[in-house]
Amino acid sequence: MKTTAFNLFIALLLLGPAQQATAQYNFSDDLYYDHPITYEMGASIGIMNCFTDLGGKKDIGQKYFKDLTIGTSQITGSIYFAANYRYFLGLRAEATFGQVKAADKGKVGEASTTYGRDERNLSFKSNIIELMLALEVHPLYFKRFEQGEDLPRFSPYLMGGIGFFSFNPRAKLNGEWVELHPLSTEGQGFSEYPDRKPYKLRQFNIPVGLGVKYKVNPLCNVSLECVTRILNTDYLDDVSKEYIDPTVFANHLSGDDLNNALLLNDRQKELNPSHNATIGWQRGNPKNNDAYFTFNVKVSLIF
């Protein structure tokens, strides 16, 4: 009898903590460890592309995705950390690394359909480094939580915030990549063009996007997300306004910078040797600022 009672006592000691641990780990009520705040740490991989004055499809330029060239997409990645309140509201800090590029197609004799964009023959690429603080809102999680229901595995969400990014447009000339910012290709900072101020290579942006998150298990989420960045510059590609008088470059530049500026501000002569630059002709479209976007697959761990 004493042996039986002793065995029962030992069994209860072992079973109690096991049941408690199981209850804590049970995710059926969608509150891991029954805590209102959870944290995520993850990484993503995807593509980055841009909307600028360069590249695009045939004919006159269109807005946003109507003028997107998928073939110029570049690999991008990010790492991030997020704090979530009751799963329907999240605050995320994220660092993104990628590259954007675009190029005119460089075809002669199609001015009637391209409105001179191909003949312009300009191109660029730029590395992008971005730090972002964004708010995530999950409408379905909020509704289910208020009604006391189990949370769905799939959750569409909206996000928006503020970012700080760096860029540095470059163009390829004689096999080498040349930084365009120091050349003032459109007279930025020149006294002859006082309305054209030099653009900053580090600026704030506004990221906005949407996505869908899938709860794989209590400790892992997978998401698909598309985010576009609203920029306060039209010089992501170093192109915005009209061609300037090329003789003014000698007033401000010298050496390699002068030679590169004369060759890169107007590249139509590479396609048509008889071309002569016309001062004031359209080089870009200052009515619309540039933008870039990412489409990523995200994987995160919950703790």
Average pLDDT, integer, range 242-260: 96
Structure tokens at 238: 């170093």
As a whole number of angstroms, the distance between CA 183 and CA 256 comes to 10
Q: Which residue has the higher pLDDT, 15 or 86?
A: 86
- Enter the pTM of the model: 0.83
pLDDT of residue 172: 96
Please say whether the beta carbons of 183 and 263 come within 8 A.
no
pLDDT of residue 82: 97
CATH class name, domain 32-182+199-234+288-302: mainly beta
| Phi and psi torsions of 19, nearest 5° | -65, -40
Coarse DSSP helix, strand, coil percentages of the chain, rounded to the nearest 5 percent: 25, 40, 35
Q: How many CB atoms lie within 10 A of CB 137?
A: 13
Of 173, 60, 179, 83, the C-alpha closest to 134 is 83
In the chain, what are the domain boundaries? 32-182+199-234+288-302
pLDDT > 90 fraction of the chain, expressed in percent and rounded: 61
Structure tokens at 103: 């190029």
* pLDDT tens per residue across span 99-137: 999 998 755 555 554 556 678 899 999 999 999 999 999
Vertex 105 angle, CA 170 and 55, to 5°? 60
| pLDDT over 80 (residue 260) | yes
pLDDT of residue 269: 87
The pLDDT confidence band at residue 28, using thresholds 50, 70 and 90, is very low
Q: Helices (DSSP H) in 26-59: which residue ranges? A: none
